[in-house]
Each structure stands twice: as C-alpha cells, then as structure tokens.
Chain A
Amino acid sequence: MNFRISLIIAFVIACLGSVSAQERFDGSFTNTPLAEVFSEIERQTDLQFFYLESWVDTLTVKGDFDNVGIEEILDKILDDTRLNFYRLGNKFILSNNSPISGDLPANFLQLEQTESEHENIGYVFSREYQSPSQNSEKSVIEIGRKEKMQLGRSSTVAGVLTDKATDNPITGALVFIEDPPTAATTDASGFYSLNIPNGKHELRVQFVGMENIIQDIVVFSDGTLDLRMSEAVVSLEEIVVVSDRDENVNQVEMGLNRIDLKTVQSAPKILGETDIVRVATTLPGVQTVGEGSSGIYVRGGGVDQNLILLDGAPIYNSSHFLGFFSAFNSDGLESSNLYKSSLPAKYGGRLSSILEINTKDGNEEEFNATGGIGPVTTRLSLSTPIWKERSSLLISGRSTYSKWILKKVPDEDIKNSDANFQDVIAKVNFRATSKDNISVTGYYSRDEFRLTNDSLFSYQNRNLSLNWIHDFNASFSSTFTLYRSEYLYKINFDGVPENRFDFGYDIKESGGKLLFGLFLGEKHDLEFGIEGKQFQINPGSISPTGNESNVTPESIELEKGLESAAFISDNWDLGPKISISAGLRYSMFNALGPGKIFGYLSGLPKSKSTIIDTVNYTGTGSIKTYHGPEARISTRFSLNSTSSLKAGYGNTRQYIHLLSNTNAVSPTDTWKLSDTYIQPQTAHQFSIGYYRNFPGYGLETSVETYFKSFSNILDYKIGAELLLNEALEADVLSGKGHSYGIELFIKKRTGKLNGWLSYTFSRSFLKLNSPFQTERVNDGKYFPTNFDKPHNVNLIANYKLTRRYSFSTNFSYSKGRPITFPVGQYDLRQVNVIQYSERNKFRIPDYLRLDLAINIEGNHKIRKLAHSYWTFSLYNVFGRDNIYSIYFISEAQRLQGYRLTVFGRIIPSITYNFRF
C-alpha cells in the first residue's frame, strides 16, 4: 500500500510543471497575522495561497518589504515555522513540514519496483504512513524537523504524560513501540524518553485504569511529544494489568515484580483488609513463616534484609495487630515494586530485597473521597486541590472502630482486653514548574493493646519524606530525597505496685539522597548520586512508675551511626540484542561515640563472666568503621522479540540488624547497628533467567534461578535476653548461610481471566560454628533456616463475569517450615526438662489454603454521586487446620504436645467501599 500511495504522489508531482516568473511586493508588517499577509499579497498580485487555517493561525509577520520578490519574502517569513511552500503557476501551495519537490527522484523507476526504496529519496510523506481508515488530521503526529531527518538513524522522543482530567503526571506508565521493541516507563514527573529509529511508528502508552493511547507518529529528528491519557471508564469493570507489557522480556533487570494495587484490592481479603504485603508473599521467592506473620523472607534472606520504602523513607515495622494486617492503607497507595535480585545501585543498606511503595498523588482538579467499612477497620481518603492544576493534598486514614472480634471470643480475659490501631498517610504534591515536581509525604501508624490486666503495649511508626524531581532537560534529571523515619515501642507494666515500670525503645533515622539521571544518546542511561543516613537508637530504657515502685531506672547507652554511599549505574544498549546494566555502589558505615566497649578474655566464649575491661569512648567520633564496594550487574540477551535470557550478579552490605530470637518478627524485636563486635552482614547473589511472552494469549512467563551466599548472619544463644542487655555480643552468634532456588512464574495480564501462578523450589541454610560448644548450633554444621520451605505454589486469579460481578481467588501451598522438636526428657532438681533435637531437624505439616472473593459493583452510571462496591471474602474455604506451630509444655512431670492452628476454619468477611 505504501508503494501505491508513493507512486500516486510521485505521479502528481511529476505533472506539476515548471516554476513561473518572480512577482514583486511592497508591504510593512508589525505582528500581523500570517493569513492577513497572504491576503495582502493576494490583493496586490494575482497570486493565490493554499493552506489550512490551523497551520498559520498562531503565526505573525514582522518587517518591512520594499519591492521584494515573493519567494524571497516567503523564504523569510516561513523560515522559523514548520511550513514549506511550493509554487505551481500563480498558486502557492503551503505544506506543513513536507517540502514538496517538483523533481523526480533520480531513481524514480526503481522506486516503482521496490516499495521500500522510498526511504532513500530524502523526503518522507506523512500521508504514506496513514492507514486509509484513519484520515483525520491528527492521527499522525510528526516529531522533529523533517529537514533534519537522517534515515537509518535514531532520534530521541521525550515528553510528559499527564492525566487529561487532573493534569497530574502519570508515573509508571509504559510508553513503547513494538518494532523494534523499545520501551520506557514514565518517571515521577510523568517524563519519558525513547530512542527510536527515524520513520513511522505506532506509539503505545499503557497504564492501569487509563485508556490506552495508540498514536501513529513519524519521527524525523529529536523532538518532544507530550501525551494525555483519559481515565478508562471501563476500569471499574475490568482488572486489566497492562502497564508493563513485555517489560519482563525487555528490561535488563531480573527478579523485579510490580504489584498492582488493583490486584491487591480485588484479591480475597482476610477480615476485610486489603494487604499489599500479603499479596507480595504470593510472588515467587517470597516466603512467610506462617499465618499472621508480617515478615517476608526473600530468596533465603532474613526478615531484616528487606528495605521497605514508603516514598523513599524506610518503614521499620510494616504491620498492625502483631502482623495480621499490613501497616499500609491501600487506598493511599499507587504502586509497589519488589526487587529480589539486581537491586539498583541507588538502593543499599539491605541484603535481600527492596519493596518500594509509592503513595498516590491527590487530585489537582476537584475534591474527591473514597472509603470503606470492613469488619475490623473503617477507611477514608480525601483528596483536594490546593492550587488548581498545580498542587494537591491527599489524606488517607484508617482506624479500628470496634472490638467485636475480641468480644466474639468466649474467653473472659480476651473479652475484656483491648486492641486498636490507626494509620494515616498525608501527601502534598506541588508542580512548581513544568520541570519541578515536589511532594511531601507524612506517614503515621500506631498500635496499642492491653491483653492482660497488667501491661499496655504500644508501637508507632512516624515518617516524613520530601521528594523533589527536577528535569534539567529531556535527557538530564535529578531527584532529591530527604526523610526522617522513626519507630518506637513502649511497654507500660502496671501490675504489682512495687514492680511498675515503663519500658521504651526507639530508632530514628534521617537521610538524604541526591540522584541524577542522564540519557547519553541512545546507548547509555546513567544514574548516579550520593546518599547519607544517620541513625540513632535508644536500645531500651526502663523507669519506675508510681511512688511504690522500686524499679531501678536504667537505660542502655544510645547507639549512633552514619552510613554513607556513592553510586553510579549505567543501562548500556550494546545493540538490539544485548543490554547491560552495571552499577557500583561504595558504602561506608561509622559507628559513632560516645560508647562503651567491653573487652573479653581471649580463648573463652564471650559471656558476662569473661568481661575483663571496659573502654569508654566519650567523643562523638567514629568508634569503628566498615566499608566496601557493592557491584550490581545484569545483562539481557534478546533471543527474539518475545523472549530473552538474562544473567546477573550482585553483592550487598548491611549495617543494621534486627535482633530477634523468636521464630517470627515481633513488635518487640529491636534494631541494632553494627559495632566493634557485630560486623556488617554481606551477601552475594548470582542469578540466571529465561523470559518468554506469548502476546497472543496475554501471557508472560519466566524461569529464574539463583544462588546466594551470606556472611555474618546473626543468631542467638538459647534463651538469650536481647532487651536491656549491655553486653549483647556475649549472647549473639554469627554465621554463614547460603540459599538457592528456581522460580517459575506465569502471569496473565489481560482478558476476563487474569492473575498469576508461581512455583518456587528453594532451600536456605545457615551454619553457626565456633571453637566453643556453647556457641555452636547443630555441631557447627549447615542446617535449614526457619523459613526454609522448599516447595511453594501460589495462584492469584481474577475473573470478570459481567460488568458488575467479578471473582477472585487465591490458592496457596507450601511445604511445612522447619522446627526444632523434642527428642527426649530428663529431670534436673525435680524440674522436668525437654531435650530438644538439633535445630530445625523436623518440619510441621504442609500448608494449604484457598480463598475466594466476589466483588459486586453498584450501577455503572458514570455521573452519579458515589460509586460503591461490595466485597465478600471467604478466607480458608477448605477450613483446613493448617498447623501453625507445634510446641511442648512440661505438665505435671510429663511432656504434653500441642498443635496450634490459626484461622483453622472459614473466615468470612464483607467490606463496603465507596468513592465520590
């Protein structure tokens, strides 16, 4: 078809004839509209101009012309415009960016025979790229100056993607062309940049909840293209996950999963709460130790090896209700990314994963509200413009509102207990200029419970972060982040008056990061910057309460530390087949004074009784310094447009440790900095993956394998006391670990049925060896970690039945986690003592669970006061008694075993949601 059109045009041009004699014209113009100038020329001469009004309505002419040739005038006044002219007799035909040639191409005859040859003539005709059915004027957008076009070269197309309704930038949308496969994701200011071959392309833009954009473009040279998306009205009815189609095949990164909030919201809920962390645990390579446990274990890494960032600020406790619910109200969230390997060089400080959670921007156009009521909490989000089209405010809060769950329990003690939690996200967004986007996010969460009459327990997260994105130009941008993160907990014991006390722990982290992004031509995409974090930990303080209390006030000395890093990474396109992403991060940690360091008798295990001296550092300088490089490399080799192979290596360093000698994370676990005795944790990871998409079925598949090794992993002596322990190093063991696995992942993004299925085989081991028996576990041999669950199957599926009804399901199977089991018993001073096996020698039974949910929408009028929908969830449909834990208690001189199940029956729940 191109061939035919070009032939016709060539024929028309061939018939146009030769150029007429020059005409002369006098005139003087001061900002006169171009159309008027043409009229004046037409009045003075018998020349005629042919053009479209819309081409010239913004153009004006300034200057004095005295008997000047018409063509000279036109050359002059059209010089700075996109217009060209062609003279045909006494008719001037204007063209918009398409110089018309009256000469036949030198190889005109050849052109007739080979359709592709037209690209060699030096001119391109936009119409030739138009399909006959799309003949509206705007269906092809031209980018750059046609004259500057160099065939066979590539150009950079950049621009900003905004929401048509709110003018807010859209972050994380995929902008791509299919041939050759080239894609970019919009950044936080909606900016994207693509390097694509000159010529005709079909540019596509996809983002969840928005209408896809399919735009024909012709690229002549570097240029800008701003795009606007409209909200998809049908997004209510269909859960379409299309934002990053083909990304898994094309991106260089491995082990990256995006978690879409729509999927989170439609997944079956437990007690009505949407939970982003719970959905993350259905991804391959992510484990938990059991029901009601918030901690995640990524590829054999411990729970403290995950960095959870909310708009750039780390969150230290990501759960409510002791782990039953995640600490984030999903109404305030926009998107989430989980990096399991190929951690970007800009992130550091944790070994195993980065869970990046981004909050929503408020609506800059109009006020709106969303909310919901579930069995446990009620939620409300308000969004309002502060400065129309420039700035907005979002506040999203959640609170428990009843104690009915507690009241349902037949036990009197629990009935009289009390537990409540709240969280709120507030965000101000301000687009100061078209190049500056500033946002400030505040986050606060609070839990409080009194389950026994004598102690009140509470914990809080407090976070504040500032993000300022500045685009210097289309290829150079910066992001500046400042944050403060605090986590604290308190125990208030008000039992026996003599023993009443308050106990408190807190950690405060302040940090800043300056990140630059630089596109260097079509081959390189650089990121570099610096980062600094300052920590201050109060490891524990106890003080008496009330006059009768004889508790001695005591506090462990504050811990202070400084972590700093510089990083650089490059996404390097070595050609259409190979891309490399290479990064280097150099991090340093200083444990800062003042501080007290115990000296221990050498040749003996460290214990309270082998302390021989104490060194007091009074200054605020560095007591101990650790530093080292961290390399992050991954490569992609495209096999064809739908499949690729990737390989990666990364090493990571971590200077902060979660002290926990329980099986799962508990809110009373404390974070500790590296010090003289406690060295940084380090890890190395190698991974290889194969990625294949089946576009016809909307399927993405991948197989990834990895091997990871760890050093300086902390563990604890049996019965170690971690609170108010000045000589913690005497209770701590340090060991090596390794893990490996293979992860299979199938994801269906589009269609009535969508979701994912994953299978993971993985193992993880730890070795705690020492010359001293008391510091050895399992005789210094490798043993499985608490979260070593070799087989894992997870399915998340949504099925859209009609516009109003959709179903979702979640299936989960895993091998039981390892436990330490009693193998004998004996009496010691009349006390019956359990003799335990080697660590983690046995396993609890396998875990199996199926959940179902149905979402029912209200009616589908677009304009109505409030949209609402209901969600009915059934958790654990089989009512299976999944064993949570097995434990033993010595009762009356004999050993009694117990099996504990949690949610060992169907848990139904109803949630009502609205927005207006």
Chain B
Amino acid sequence: MKGKVLILFLLILGCAEPFEPNSSTFIQAIVIDGLITDEFKEHEIILRKSSPIDTNQFIPLENADVKIVENGVANFVLTESSPGRYRTFPFQGSINATYQLQIITEEGLEISSEVVTLKPSPSIDELRAVFNILEPGGIRGIQILIDTRDQTNTNSFYRWEYTETYQIVAPYPKRFEWLGGTELESFDPGEFRFCWKTTGSSNVLIGSSLRFGNEISSFPIRFLEEGSPELAERYSIEAKQYSLTEDSFEFWKSIRDIGERQGSIYDKQPGLVIGNVTAANGDALVLGYFDASQVRTERIFVSPVQFYSEGLKIDRQFLDNCTGNLDTIPFTDLQSYLELFQDQRVIAGVLTFSGSGYLMAPLECTDCRFQGGDLVKPDFWP
C-alpha cells in the first residue's frame, strides 16, 4: 500500500517509460520447485536453470538424482518423466509428516532442502463472487473472494492458487467447408460452437490472518473486469488453499514484493530471494523452494446474468462485430468470394429465405477455437 501511495505522488511530477532491459549480465542459477501435498498423485519436482531477462524460457536441469525423504527414514526416488520434471510414484503425503528433498546433479552438485512439515490446512469457508467497483478508477467487474477460518487457531498463513475455466461461444458456427468445385463438407451446428479455456494463477496470492482473529475474510484472489471474455458466458474458478509456515510466508512475501516494485525510491530494497534449498558443495547459486501442505479446494460457477440486476453490463462488442461483418452471397459467387478473402471467411449458413445464398462470417465468429478455446468439455462442467 505504501509503495502505491508514493508512486502516485511521484507520477504527479514524473513519468515512467518502458524500456527493454538487456541481458548482457545474465547469471544462471539452479531453481528448485517442489511441493508435497496430501493429494494421492504423482508429485512433481521441477529442476531448471534461470533464463536471461529478455526471454523467459524453460531450461531443464536434466539427469539429476532426486529423492524425497519422509520422516527422516523412507526414501522416495523420483524419475525424470520429461526433461527437468521429476515424478514420484503415486502417494499421498501424510499430515504432520516431515519431508526433505535431496538432489545430486549430473555434475555432482549436492543440493538439499530444509526439512519441512506437511501442515494441515483448514477448509475453505466460502469462495464467492460479488459485483464490485474497484477504487481508485471506478473499474467495474466481478470480484472473486475467499473466506477461511481456522477453528483450531493453529494456522495463520495461507497461499492460494486458482484454475479458472470459461466457456467460449462462436455466434455463427461453421456449417460447411468448401472442398473445391461444388463439393461442400457439412458440420453439425454445435460442433464448433462451444469451447472452454482454462488458465492458472500466475501471481503470488498469500494472506495472513495473524491480526484478524485467525480469520481470512474477503481475500480477493481474482478480479474479472466488466467486458472481459471470462464474463461473456459462463465462468468457473477452482481455488486451492495451502498452509504456510511463517518462514515460507515471508519467502513468498519477498517474491511478491520484488515482483510488484513500483519504481519509487520508497520501494523496498530489491535483491536476490534465497529459499530453503542450498548446495552443500560448489559455489553454484541455488534458488527456489520446497514445501509441503495439505490442500483444500473449492470450486464455484459464475454466470454473469446473475449480476445484471446489480449493474454488470455484458460486452456485446464481439457479437456486434460478427453480426456487422456478415455477408450474404449468391451460391454462384462462392468461389470468387473465397478466393478474394483467402481463408478469412467461412460459410456460417445457407440462407433459403429472402433470396437464397450463403451466409459468410469471419473465422473467429464461426469456430470457438480461434478465441483460444478447447472443444473438449471439462469433466466438472455441468
């Protein structure tokens, strides 16, 4: 909050302009990313190297010996399922058990994590969506909030991740594909009409209930701006809640703070954030974090319609664009028309009333996949 207030002040008399950082000073580090949960699954540890500042790419650390020690005795050896990704056999982490990650790289570097305890996590009280106007700026939209209460008063620090899915509808689905000459392939009207797009959270979502009576109330995990594609049709979000120790909370807070620097001289001093993994030999820089927690999940569905009464407006621009760009052509002009538009137009229908012909529509209006969707309906979708 402090940084935000102060940057506003600086902006009064200053201005910030973007520039491309150069990568001439790249220093490569080994990054460990691992989490053991109480889910029954193949747990994955990712070993990678950091990439230069101008390109974010996955540089795997291959052929390492990776194992996880449970309660100081049991060893789970991991296998590299794909470059840099190491998996356990399917197992379920036990609450209050301890885990330690031990790695020996191809070059003989021995890396180990601190011993972490799989912390229990209270269940999510409620995951809910409300209509909200964000101040300052008066940005309207749907706010997804999370409420959690720890009845045992043992846990105060949380981290959340979410996975969101929304439905995409093509308003004028493709009915025919021209195969040349007079040959047309026909499709079911529903075939390219419905898609689903799924993405995950990519920011640090952490909260502390330390000063709030061990209660997290109305923690905002996602804001959907009015008019965004997520709010065009139906939307669903699944939140995952993990418990953190105070040390791991501080680690994630540091990660969040250095990523949210606002550029004022009142920013916190940035620097290298060191996690809980260290190399026993060699002078390689090792970054990243290994921890364990119980997972609690909650999913809700949001239909924008339910917020119309509160003032949410639907964005009709895409639909209007499609409708406004429809063409009606005589059957005989199909070939010359399609040659002219070079795969940008698709037959969205056959008109038989008021003079017959083809209804031609732009590609993105006829196939939901052009908006980034996937035709496969997720299992949880009703």
Contacts A832-B56, A835-B29, A895-B21; A457 near B254 (Cβ below 8 A): no
Contacts of A887 in B (CB 8 A): 261-263, 267
Q: Verify B255–A833 contact, CB threshold 8 A.
A: yes
Contacts A414-B8, A498-B217, A718-B272; A898 near B16 (Cβ below 8 A): yes
Mark contacts of B51-82 with chain A using CB atoms, 8 A cut-off: 1 yes-contact digit, 0 otherwise: 11110101000000000000000000000000
Contacts of A607 in B (CB 8 A): 247
A454–B220 Cα gap in the complex (Å)?
A: 16
A897's partner among B18, B200, B265 (CB-CB below 8 A) is B18
Which of B90-98, B201-209, B223-231, B312-320 lies at the interface with chain A? B201-209
Q: Verify A290–B53 contact, CB threshold 8 A.
A: no
Contacts of A412 in B (CB 8 A): 136-138
Contacts of A899 in B (CB 8 A): 16-19
A719–B274 Cα gap in the complex (Å)?
A: 11
B207–chain A nearest beta-carbon distance, Å: 11
Q: Verify B1–A824 contact, CB threshold 8 A.
A: no
Q: Verify B253–A774 contact, CB threshold 8 A.
A: no
A724–B210 Cα gap in the complex (Å)?
A: 11
Which of A102-110, A228-236, A663-671, A701-709 lies at the interface with chain B? A663-671
Contacts of B289 in A (CB 8 A): 828
Chain A's closest residue to B145 (CB) is: A496
Contacts of A834 in B (CB 8 A): 53, 258-259, 270
A38–B56 Cα gap in the complex (Å)?
A: 111
Q: Verify A417–B266 contact, CB threshold 8 A.
A: no
A836 touches B (CB below 8 Å)? yes
A498–B207 Cα gap in the complex (Å)?
A: 15
A240–B381 Cα gap in the complex (Å)?
A: 84
Q: Verify B31–A828 contact, CB threshold 8 A.
A: yes
Q: Verify B255–A828 contact, CB threshold 8 A.
A: yes
A661–B271 Cα gap in the complex (Å)?
A: 11
B202's partner among A292, A498, A830 (CB-CB below 8 A) is A830
Contacts of B9 in A (CB 8 A): 321-322, 419, 449, 451
Contacts of B48 in A (CB 8 A): 826-827
B110–chain A nearest beta-carbon distance, Å: 15
Which of A552, A820, A885, A892 has most B Cβ within 10 Å?
Answer: A885
Q: On chain B, which size bracket covers the interface?
A: 35 or more
Q: Verify B26–A831 contact, CB threshold 8 A.
A: no
Which of B10, B200, B289 has most A Cβ within 10 Å?
Answer: B10
Contacts of A499 in B (CB 8 A): 212, 217-218
A416 touches B (CB below 8 Å)? yes
Q: Verify A414–B161 contact, CB threshold 8 A.
A: no
Which of A719, A773, A888 has most B Cβ within 10 Å?
Answer: A719
Q: Verify B273–A413 contact, CB threshold 8 A.
A: no
Contacts of B16 in A (CB 8 A): 898-901
Mark contacts of B6-44 with chain A using CB atoms, 8 A cut-off: 1 yes-contact digit, 0 otherwise: 101111111111111100011111010101000000000
Mark contacts of A622-659 with chain B using CB atoms, 8 A cut-off: 1 yes-contact digit, 0 otherwise: 00000000000000000000000000000000000000
Contacts A292-B10, A416-B136, A903-B13; A609 near B202 (Cβ below 8 A): no
A409 touches B (CB below 8 Å)? yes
Contacts of B254 in A (CB 8 A): 718-719
Contacts A412-B137, A551-B211, A826-B29; A836 near B271 (Cβ below 8 A): yes
A367–chain B nearest beta-carbon distance, Å: 39
B287's partner among A498, A835, A890 (CB-CB below 8 A) is A835
A405 touches B (CB below 8 Å)? yes
Q: Verify A900–B263 contact, CB threshold 8 A.
A: yes
A43 touches B (CB below 8 Å)? no
Q: Verify A662–B200 contact, CB threshold 8 A.
A: no
Contacts of A608 in B (CB 8 A): 246-247, 250
B246–chain A nearest beta-carbon distance, Å: 5
B274's partner among A405, A498, A774, A895 (CB-CB below 8 A) is A774
B244–chain A nearest beta-carbon distance, Å: 12
Contacts A550-B212, A716-B269, A774-B274; A828 near B53 (Cβ below 8 A): no
Which of B6, B58, B204, B212 has most A Cβ within 10 Å?
Answer: B6
Contacts of B8 in A (CB 8 A): 413-414, 417, 451-452
A839–B211 Cα gap in the complex (Å)?
A: 33
Enumerate A267-293 residues with CB–CB distance to B below 8 Å.
289-293
Q: Verify A831–B259 contact, CB threshold 8 A.
A: yes
A718–B9 Cα gap in the complex (Å)?
A: 25
A62 touches B (CB below 8 Å)? no
Contacts of A907 in B (CB 8 A): 13
B288 touches A (CB below 8 Å)? yes
A887–B16 Cα gap in the complex (Å)?
A: 10
A377–chain B nearest beta-carbon distance, Å: 16
A521–chain B nearest beta-carbon distance, Å: 53
15 A-B pairs besides A666-B2, A716-B269 with CB distance below 8 A are A413-B136, A451-B8, A824-B27, A824-B29, A825-B52, A826-B29, A828-B31, A838-B272, A888-B21, A892-B202, A895-B53, A895-B54, A897-B18, A900-B16, A901-B14
Taking Cβ atoms with an 8 Å cutoff, the residues of A that contact B are 289-293, 321-322, 324, 405-406, 409, 411-414, 416-417, 419, 449, 451-455, 457, 493, 496, 498-499, 542, 550-552, 554, 607-609, 661-664, 666, 668, 716, 718-719, 721, 724, 773-774, 777, 786, 820-839, 842, 884-890, 892-904, 907
A to B CB contacts below 8 Å, 12 in the list: A409-B12, A496-B218, A554-B211, A661-B269, A777-B271, A824-B26, A830-B202, A835-B29, A895-B21, A898-B17, A900-B16, A902-B13
